């Protein structure tokens, strides 16, 4: 009787070991002084940073979703790792958390060390942008569960915030200013609809639609902005009352999550909108409200500050590398009406 190996069953231990060796430099480039363990252990040890008086841990988890299908179609795996970190880091940031460490879960049918290393190198790049240490993860080879050549990603981030520094929206008042931080594109939400529109239009990912300066595929794969460093600098500079990460649900559903009941926001269209959104709306076609509750429409994060601090906040954000503008104000609303109203066409 011939012998059978784990590799015969579809799991290549040697490929896994090769990938670990390839990604070690990327992982080591993310380390913080609080990390007490080395790469490759069964678990990771991380101490709390110095300087916190009453620290509270903040956690978040997310994935990249069907944006991965675009990466598969383009055979480009370099940026989805940035998306993975961004989706977690911006969520933790929304309540004032400083990212501390990150873990990833990478599952596939058959491990390809080349594409796998690209993914993890992207994760490491995202961790450097967020200031988080990549302290561990899991690479799972699951033949029969995933299609050949495809994989899924999940991320887990832990941050820290002073107990009295948690940003929960309690101080938001009518007439407070809403500041919008520009997005780079779709970020990592709404891709089931976006891919349906591309399919319906019969468009090639390699084509460059009129009005766009890049291919459709590149516009769709544009990585999610990580707002950690400019926002942390802003929080240290002035009082931030509320923040919202504009993910699934768009502007209409995410902003209300961060402000007290009885309050809403009146937004005025006019901020820069990446051309990819115009293309999607036209080629669906998709109604304006559906676009606004599915996509970020050019605003990746919102910040609420007192009206007398709005201009200072915008200038500070721009000084720290992120384009921002005042896009509206907080208003009192009836419980029966919409909590977000957009004036004008986005």
CA atoms within 13 A on the CB side of 325: 12
Domain boundary among 165, 194, 209: 165
Is 160 a member of any domain? yes
Long-range contacts of 275-281, Cβ-Cβ distance < 8 Å, separation of 24 or more? 275/209, 275/211, 275/212, 275/213, 275/219, 276/185, 276/186, 276/212, 276/216, 276/219, 276/220, 276/222, 277/186, 277/346, 278/211, 279/209, 279/211, 279/212, 279/216, 279/219, 280/193, 280/194, 280/197
Residue 22 is predicted with a pLDDT of: 81
Residue 1 is predicted with a pLDDT of: 65
Dihedrals phi, psi of 155, to nearest 5 degrees: -130, 155
Is 128 a member of any domain? yes
Is 209 a member of any domain? yes
Is 132 a member of any domain? yes
Which comes out higher in pLDDT, residue 21 or 217? Answer: 217
Q: Do residue 250 and residue 159 come from a single domain?
A: no
Is 4 a member of any domain? no
Residue 158 has pLDDT above 90, yes or no: yes
Rounded mean pLDDT, 332-346: 90
- Cβ–Cβ < 8 Å for 223, 82: yes
pLDDT tens digits for 125-146? Answer: 999 999 999 999 999 999 989 9
Q: Do residue 183 and residue 328 come from a single domain?
A: yes
Q: Do residue 204 and residue 330 come from a single domain?
A: yes
Task: Pull the structure tokens for residue 12.
Answer: 């290549």
The 3-state secondary structure of the chain reads CCCCCCCCCCCCHHHHHHHHHHHHHHHHCCCCCCECCCCCCCCCCECCCCCCCCEEEEEEEEECCCHHHHHHHHCCCCCHHHHHHHHHHHHHHCCCCEEEEEEEEEEECCCCHHHHHHHHHHHHHHHHHHCCEEEEEEEEECECCECCCCEEEEEEEEEEEEHHHCCCCCCCCCCCEEEEEECCCCCCCCHHHHHHHHHHHCCCCCCCCCCCCCCHHHHHHCCCCCCHHHHHHHHHHCCCCEEEECCCCHHHHHHHHHCCCCEEEEEECCCCCCHHHHHHHHHCCCCHHHHHCCCCCCEEEEEEECHHHHHHHHHHHHHCCCCEEEEEEEEECCCCCCCEEEECCC
- Cβ–Cβ < 8 Å for 324, 179: yes
Is 35 a member of any domain? yes
Q: Do residue 311 and residue 217 come from a single domain?
A: yes
| pTM assigned to the model | 0.95
Report the CATH number that the domain containing residue 40 is assigned in CATH. 3.30.1330.10
If one counts the domains in the chain, the total is 2
Residue 151 is predicted with a pLDDT of: 96
Is 67 a member of any domain? yes
Residue 39 has pLDDT above 80, yes or no: no
Residue 35 has pLDDT above 90, yes or no: yes
Q: Do residue 17 and residue 155 come from a single domain?
A: yes
Rounded mean pLDDT, 55-82: 97
Q: Do residue 29 and residue 157 come from a single domain?
A: yes
How far apart CA 299 and CA 286 sit, in angstroms, is 19
Residue 47 is predicted with a pLDDT of: 95
Q: Do residue 150 and residue 260 come from a single domain?
A: no
Residue 2 is predicted with a pLDDT of: 73
Is 3 a member of any domain? no
Residue 10 has pLDDT above 80, yes or no: no
Q: Do residue 114 and residue 192 come from a single domain?
A: no
By CB neighbour count within 10 A (0-12 exposed, 13-18 middle, 19+ buried), where does 179 fall?
buried
How far apart CA 130 and CA 298 sit, in angstroms, is 21
Domain boundary among 165, 196, 213: 165
Q: Do residue 207 and residue 317 come from a single domain?
A: yes
Residue 75 has pLDDT above 90, yes or no: yes
When pLDDT is cut at 50, 70 and 90, the band that residue 300 belongs to is very high
Rounded (10°) angle between helices 113-130 and 228-237: 10
Give the whole-number percent of the chain exceeding pLDDT 90.
86
Average of per-residue pLDDT values in the chain? 94
Rounded mean pLDDT, 20-35: 89
Q: Do residue 20 and residue 154 come from a single domain?
A: yes
- Cβ–Cβ < 8 Å for 205, 279: no
Residue 29 is predicted with a pLDDT of: 92
Domain boundary among 165, 189, 216: 165
Rounded mean pLDDT, 150-174: 97
Residue 14 has pLDDT above 80, yes or no: no
Q: Do residue 142 and residue 54 come from a single domain?
A: yes
Domain residues for the domain of 42 are 13-165
pLDDT tens digits for 104-125? Answer: 999 999 999 999 999 999 999 9
Residue 8 is predicted with a pLDDT of: 66
Report the CATH number that the domain containing residue 238 is assigned in CATH. 3.90.650.10
Q: Do residue 157 and residue 194 come from a single domain?
A: no
Polymer length in residues for the chain: 346
Rounded mean pLDDT, 81-88: 98
pLDDT tens digits for 176-215? Answer: 999 999 999 999 999 999 999 999 999 999 999 999 999 9
């Amino acid at each position: 009787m011939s012998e059978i190996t784990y590799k015969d069953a579809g799991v290549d231990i040697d490929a896994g070991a090769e990938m670990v060796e390839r990604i070690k430099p990327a992982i080591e480039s993310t380390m913080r002084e609080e990390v007490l363990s080395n790469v490759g252990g069964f678990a990771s040890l991380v101490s709390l940073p110095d300087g916190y008086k009453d620290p509270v841990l903040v956690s978040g988890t997310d994935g990249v979703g069907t944006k991965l299908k675009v990466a598969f179609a383009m055979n480009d795996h370099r940026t989805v790792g940035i998306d993975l970190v961004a989706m977690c880091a911006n969520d933790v940031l929304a309540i004032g958390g400083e990212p501390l460490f990150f873990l990833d879960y990478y599952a596939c049918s058959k491990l390809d060390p080349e594409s796998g290393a690209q993914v993890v190198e992207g994760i490491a790049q995202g961790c450097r942008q967020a200031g988080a240490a990549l302290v561990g993860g899991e690479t799972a080879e699951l033949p029969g569960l995933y299609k050949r050549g495809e994989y899924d990603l999940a991320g887990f981030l832990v941050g820290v915030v002073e107990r009295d520094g948690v940003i929960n929206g309690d101080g938001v008042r009518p007439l407070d200013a809403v500041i919008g931080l520009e997005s780079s594109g779709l970020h990592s939400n709404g891709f089931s609809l976006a891919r349906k529109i591309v399919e319906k239009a019969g468009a090639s990912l390699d084509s460059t639609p009129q009005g766009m300066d890049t291919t459709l595929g590149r516009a769709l794969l544009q990585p999610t902005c990580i707002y950690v460093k400019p926002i942390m600098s802003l929080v240290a500079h002035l009082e931030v009352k509320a923040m919202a990460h504009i993910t699934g649900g768009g502007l209409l559903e995410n902003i209300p999550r961060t402000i007290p009941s009885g309050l809403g926001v009146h937004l005025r269209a006019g901020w820069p909108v990446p051309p990819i959104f115009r293309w999607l709306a036209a080629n669906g076609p998709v109604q304006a409200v559906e676009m606004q509750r599915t996509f970020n429409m050019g605003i990746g994060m919102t910040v609420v500050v007192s009206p007398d601090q709005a201009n200072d906040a915008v200038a500070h954000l721009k000084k720290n590398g992120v384009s921002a503008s005042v896009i509206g104000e907080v208003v009192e609303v009836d419980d029966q009406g919409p909590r977000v109203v957009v004036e004008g066409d986005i």
